[in-house]
Structure 1
């Protein structure tokens, strides 16, 4: 009990920033994760044949749950929440499964939400056991996973920078110009300015990019007037959840994959913020993931997890305060109640996000490379571990159809480069180092705690 209370009252490593600066850095986090937050309800809603109004409701529901989960993850409530600067949102790991469910007779949205609730409950049950895997993530594995996270995010940034997948002129010069301008502003601020300006460099770059994109006619505000001023998300908007065995089993597997991804990301964030993530902290973080998923099913949204791209922002700005992400969570809750404000954020052109994404996702990969320096990377077998794990992690990124002929239930694993790289790194570390005998432990001492 003393140990827990001591953890809960421990001061954060990053001092609290002035209110305005904290608010601006929080806005950066919201802008960065917003595209991912709205993408999942957009994809699933369209697959289910929902109307534009119903999809808008799905988006607001997702923003509400993401905001609540972010606040809990950042600040902690009882035994839940890792108390680190984490942004939460709907996970892409479940998208392929939910698209299939949306088209299945007798499943639809109530079946998806029922499976989400059941998967969240399953996650709450297994979190205390999964947290023990932290010892399977020495710097050798953690560095490999974080590098793979950064590399697997690059296609997202490149897609944004080219104008987004929905554009008919992908890679057109105006899109590339806007993305380059955003990136140039971020780089120049980090080179010539200090302190506050560096902390909000991404926001400034995106703001200038938004103005430039608007002058080029890229900003589409059609439909803004039709959006209601205020809208409250109500539970079970699409009817009572339905609990069907096949969807539930599929979503439970998704939760396991989310836990593997989240474990890697929490450990990555611990390295960036200078905090050691022990099994107890990891359990708190995973319980928040599972709890958010459980709540999400009742509130008309989907499985939730931490967002890797925001870890890049923490590294990029150097602002490691959990109060920043807690405020960002409150902003998400506000956006869920104000559809017009949410609409304006959603109008940010993809090219603007792309310029910022190239810098931030690259910073994630750079952090992984830095962590690998703590391991015995001169050893040939450790080099093989890094090479093979990153290579396998890139397979779903480079050729998503590579695993198309494997069983359907494996899709949450095979469609996630992060999950593939993590499983490979953990397995090869067990083979090469843990099971390699005392002489291997002596050789790889730098790779173990």
Structure 2
């Protein structure tokens, strides 16, 4: 009997070691986002070293707490799904814009107001969840994949008119990382094969070090431990007009959260309806963003990256993202870990992210396989949604001359694609029902 117990104990230890490796994989794929978001705000606003360290700590703290909340679920908050939370790319830009136009206290107030707006609008949004069938979710995931590949591909090649623009070295590092991930996925078996994304990133990092591309610049006067400060910019100021861009984003974010929740629920085999699955995710986003607003961060939202990782590894356990959340909490107080992660070249992290985002596209394709695209209505719904969704993603400045108030939505390919898919699905479904009724007569 004792042998069985010891065997079970050893197996449990082995499982937790595997979960730890998978958790590290989740963290390394997403870690560039919080680091980049903090340095973007710090450099644009010329923040002090101390304040920058403080914001880095706060960002990792809320990401870790958010990851734990979404993974564990507390009452009606958190999806109880393997989610990781990160600062949203679009709201960071909006947060920075508000801070530059007004001040940082107003930017923090805008985050708090937007978080509260989530709770106000959620009962209305829940009524529209029935308008998210497979054709809408599949289209949304494909657009998410293409949009994120474009963003991270842009990080690989850099900005035009700079010395490193389209650097063959950076592109080579990204491609080497991608190739290594695919190679490991092909030749390795079992757990090691499931860790192919992490192993590819490690290979890219070692190659970068060999080529002298690892840079360990750190903030001057480095600290070992750091804790965030409540209201680091002073008492938040609440300016409703300045908050409008973030309020518009919150609606777009709800649409993205819907697609991500339904997709990852299908991956892990959850049977609840979208009406049951989506609201806890949105409440979790709102609560963590509300906390972030008081700590000086921008909006914190569920991450699309981990959907691709769950699909690639086929590891569906929430224990993995619980461990990822704990790792993020450790990073939040132990600043050298964040700086060590920041030393990994952007090209390597972006190469890793690109392969993960491509996997998200395959999930969208798999969902669309359940849709009868030979049926005329479905074909035009998909074609129309891809048209309106891909235009702002692939053609820069297409809506430049349109009213400024409309541009946050028009320039968001995910929002345009999802709205178009929903509206066209209603139109063609109504038309099909009318035709069927006419034929029955």
Stretches of 4+ aligned residues off by more than 4 angstroms: 163-167, 438-443
Q: CA deviation at 1:253?
A: 2.0
Separation in 1, partners of 2:372, 2:436: 11
Which one of 326, 332, 347 corresponds to residue 330 of structure 1?
326
Q: How does 1:343-358 map to 2 (within 5 A)?
A: 343-358=339-354
Aligned to 2:110: 115
Q: Quick check: 1:102 aligned with 2:99?
A: yes
Please give the residue correspondences for 1:278-297 in structure 2 after superposition, counting only pairs within 5 Å.
278=273, 279-297=275-293
Aligned to 1:29, which of 26, 31, 40? 26
Name the SS of the counterpart of 1:403 in structure 2: coil
Compute the TM-score of the two structures, normalised by the length of structure 1.
0.89
Q: 1:275 to 1:435 in 2, by over 3 A?
A: farther
Q: How does 1:132-171 map to 2 (within 5 A)?
A: 132-162=127-157, 168-171=163-166
Which residue does 1:361 correspond to in 2?
357
1: distance between equivalents of 2:418 and 2:158? 30
**Partner residue in 2 for 1:44:** 41
Mean alpha-carbon deviation: is it higher for 225-234 or for 410-419?
410-419
| TM-score normalised by the chain length of structure 2 | 0.90
The answer to whether the aligner puts 1:68 opposite 2:65 as a matched pair is: yes
Q: Distance in 2 between matches of 1:145 and 1:108?
A: 35
Matched length: 427
1:125 lines up with 2:125 in the alignment:
no
The answer on whether the counterparts of 1:117 and 1:298 sit within 8 Å (CA) in structure 2 is yes
Change (3 A) 1:245 1:17: farther
Q: Is this contact kept in 2: 1:44–1:102, CA < 8 A?
A: no
Distance 1:48 1:177 in 2: 33
Query: Relative to structure 1, is the Cα distance of residues 311 and 138 closer, same or farther in structure 2, using a 3 angstrom cutoff?
Result: same
Bigger shift: 74-83 or 87-96? 87-96
Structure 1: stretches of 5+ with no match in the other structure: 1-14, 444-449
**1:198 equivalenced with 2:193 (yes/no):** yes
For residues 132-164 of structure 1, what are the alpha-carbon distances to aligned partners after superposition, in whole Å with 9 as ceiling and x for unaligned? 332111111111111111111111332344368
Distance in 2 between residues matched to 1:379 and 1:410, nearest whole Å: 33
Q: Per-residue displacement from partner, 1:258-295 (whole Å, max 9, x unpaired)?
A: 11111111112123223245212211111001111111
2:234 corresponding residue in structure 1: 239
Shift of 1:408: 3.3
Structure 1 window deviating more from structure 2 (241-250 vs 326-335): it is: 241-250
Question: Distance between the aligned counterparts of 1:362 and 1:221, measured in 2?
Answer: 30
Taking a change above 3 Å as real, the CA distance of residues 165 and 334 of structure 1, as seen in their structure-2 partners, is farther
Q: CA deviation at 1:439?
A: 4.6
Name the larger-Rg structure: 2
Alpha-carbon contact 1:73-1:285 (below 8 Å) kept? yes
Q: C-alpha root-mean-square deviation of aligned residues, in Å?
A: 2.4
How many angstroms does 1:165 deviate by?
A: 7.8
* 2:88 is the alignment partner of 1:87: no
The change in CA–CA distance for 1:163 and 1:254 in structure 2 (over 3 A counts) is closer
Is the aligned partner of 1:304 residue 2:292?
A: no
Q: 1:188 aligns with which of 183, 186, 189?
A: 183
Q: Distance in 2 between matches of 1:441 and 1:161?
A: 54
Measured against aligned partners, the alpha-carbon deviations of 1:80-105 in whole angstroms (never above 9, x if no partner) come to 1001111111112323432321222x
* CA shift for structure 1 position 434: 4.3
Q: Contact between 2:217 and 2:343, CA under 8 Å: does it hold in 1?
A: no
Contact in 2 for aligned 1:101/1:112 (Cα 8 Å): yes
Which SS does the other structure have where 2:387 is aligned?
A: helix
